[in-house]
């Protein structure tokens, strides 16, 4: 497992818990937060024992956003005279930041975000790359970038519209308003709201175990097909899923499903 000064990873059976673990800074994202994520998710993707990932946070908040002061040393281009060469050097650094979020979306395992407290800016970028979002009643969300003078450039403007629709996404981006858990549920930013952090974590674990009980082949193929279909036509999606389906059928999991049904027992899938 990749060591990180920002993330704490715990593997519990078939579920991996990835905790944002800088509670003294409300999990504001400094350079290790951005640099360490791809290796962590690659490790979990490659681990055959892990079927579901839950992203949660230690401390009073999920994430207070980017740690601008903590990032300044790694991005001197922000303070240099803005000539072409400076900007050209800056583009790969933005791409690196983008990969911190994209690696979650690319991970073949389903990723559930369990959000409590503040989920601001980069925190919203992160959860928008997750497959499912749950929160506690004290959670608040903000697409903050317009209020601090820059455009959200690591994924929110691409992913949030797919979750809540164009109109709501533009409202959030243009106003930089903070919304509470109730409103987040209304606009479908989150799937469900729970009374407190304890019940949130219990629900996230229950959902993770429910997913883990299904065929890993089928679950991961479903994520792949859903990701491919974003922004494409129904016809393109159908062509793609036909290929995916033909490639995973038959499987040991399919045979086990039929056998378990005939024997009137719960199936035990292996992902083979």
19 neighbors 54 (Cβ within 8 angstroms): no
- The architecture (CATH level 2) of 7-213 comes to Alpha-Beta Complex (3.90)
What's phi and psi for 193, nearest 5 deg?
-115, 135
Reply yes or no on whether the pLDDT at 238 is more than 60: yes
210-214, long-range: CB within 8 Å, 24+ apart, which pairs? 211/51, 211/52, 211/110, 212/13, 212/14, 212/15, 212/51, 212/52, 213/266, 213/269, 214/269
Nearest residue to 67 via CA among 120, 105, 19: 120
Tens-digit pLDDT profile for residues 31-48: 999 999 999 999 999 999
Q: According to the model, what pLDDT value does residue 44 have?
A: 97
Dmax (CA) of the chain: 72
The dihedral sign for the CA sequence 242, 248, 251, 257: negative
- How many helices (H) and strands (E) would you count in the chain? 11, 9
**Arithmetic mean of pLDDT, 154-169:** 95
Span 108-142, pLDDT tens digits: 999 999 999 999 999 999 999 999 999 999 999 99
Is the sign of the CA dihedral 88, 93, 94, 98 positive or negative?
positive
The answer to whether the beta carbons of residues 178 and 156 sit under 8 Å apart is no
Domain boundaries, the chain: 7-213, 216-263
> Per-residue pLDDT tens for 163-188?
999 999 999 999 999 999 999 999 99
Weakest-pLDDT range from 109-123, 170-184, 189-203, 247-261: 247-261
CA distance 138 to 23: 17
Name the pTM for this structure.
0.91
Which helix (DSSP H) or strand (DSSP E) does residue 243 occupy? helix 234-248
177 contact partners, CB below 8 Å, separation of at least 6: 142, 171
């Amino acid at each position: 497992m990749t060591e990180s000064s920002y993330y704490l990873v715990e593997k519990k059976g078939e579920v991996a818990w990835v905790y944002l673990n800088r509670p003294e800074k409300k999990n504001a994202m400094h350079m290790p937060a951005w640099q360490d994520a791809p290796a962590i998710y690659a490790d979990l993707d490659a681990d055959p024992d892990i079927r579901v990932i839950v992203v949660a946070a230690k401390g009073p908040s999920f994430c207070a956003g980017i740690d601008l002061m903590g990032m300044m040393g790694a991005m001197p281009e922000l303070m240099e005279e803005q000539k072409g060469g400076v900007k050209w050097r800056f583009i790969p650094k933005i791409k690196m930041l983008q990969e911190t979020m994209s690696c979650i979306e690319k991970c073949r395992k389903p990723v559930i975000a369990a959000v409590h407290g503040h989920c601001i800016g980069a925190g919203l970028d992160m959860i928008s790359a997750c497959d499912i979002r749950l929160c506690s009643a004290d959670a608040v969300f903000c697409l903050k970038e317009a209020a601090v003078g820059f455009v959200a450039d690591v994924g929110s403007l691409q992913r949030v519209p797919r979750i809540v629709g164009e109109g709501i996404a533009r409202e959030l981006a243009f106003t930089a308003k903070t919304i509470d858990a109730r409103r987040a549920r209304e606009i479908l930013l989150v799937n469900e709201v729970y009374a407190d952090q304890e019940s949130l974590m219990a629900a996230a674990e229950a959902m993770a175990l429910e997913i883990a009980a299904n065929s890993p082949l089928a679950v991961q193929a479903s994520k792949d097909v859903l990701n491919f279909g974003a922004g494409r036509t129904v016809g393109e999606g159908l062509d793609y899923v036909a290929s995916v389906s033909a490639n995973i059928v038959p499987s040991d999991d399919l045979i086990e499903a039929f056998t378990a049904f005939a024997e009137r027992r719960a199936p035990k899938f292996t992902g083979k």
